[in-house]
Amino acid sequence: QKEVEQNSGPLSVPEGAIASLNCTYSDRVSQSFFWYRQYSGKSPELIMSIYSNGDKEDGRFTAQLNKASQYVSLLIRDSQPSDSATYLCAVQTNQAGTALIFGKGTTLSVSS
């Protein structure tokens, strides 16, 4: 059973702090990794993709991938109240089309 695990939270951080979101996955052949943000009542929105070990930065977001440890993380610097949402980690094996396996999400709350 291929699984993606996330801490459901809620993760609460003050405005301006760094929020750290973590994700582990079980399928070693997974090759592509994504972070989606989902606001309440809305659909998931892609915020980061990462395909190789190491860090990838995009604005205030940094994704980190460690395939040996089967671990993906997302750092949000200078957190804003507008970052309050559920963050979904998703894993793609590329051997089964584009199908994604999602974690159940971590709820982030940024207080002003």
> DSSP H helical segments within the chain, as ranges?
none
Looking at the Cβ atoms of 14 and 54, the one nearer to another protein is 54
Residue 105 lies near another protein (rule: CB under 8 A): yes
Choice from 16, 53, 59, 96 touching another protein (CB under 8 A):
96
Looking at the Cβ atoms of 1 and 112, the one nearer to another protein is 1
Neighbours of 4 (CB within 10 A): 22
CB of 70 to another protein, least distance (A): 17
Segment near another protein (CB under 8 A); pick from 11-19, 20-28, 63-71, 87-95: 87-95
Choice from 40, 69, 98, 112 touching another protein (CB under 8 A):
98
Q: What is the C-alpha separation between 90 and 7, in angstroms, rounded?
A: 14
Looking at the Cβ atoms of 39 and 81, the one nearer to another protein is 39
Residue 58 lies near another protein (rule: CB under 8 A): no
Looking at the Cβ atoms of 4 and 19, the one nearer to another protein is 4
Q: What is the C-alpha separation between 98 and 91, in angstroms, rounded?
A: 10
Q: Which two structure tokens, joined as six digits, stand for 1?
A: 């059973």
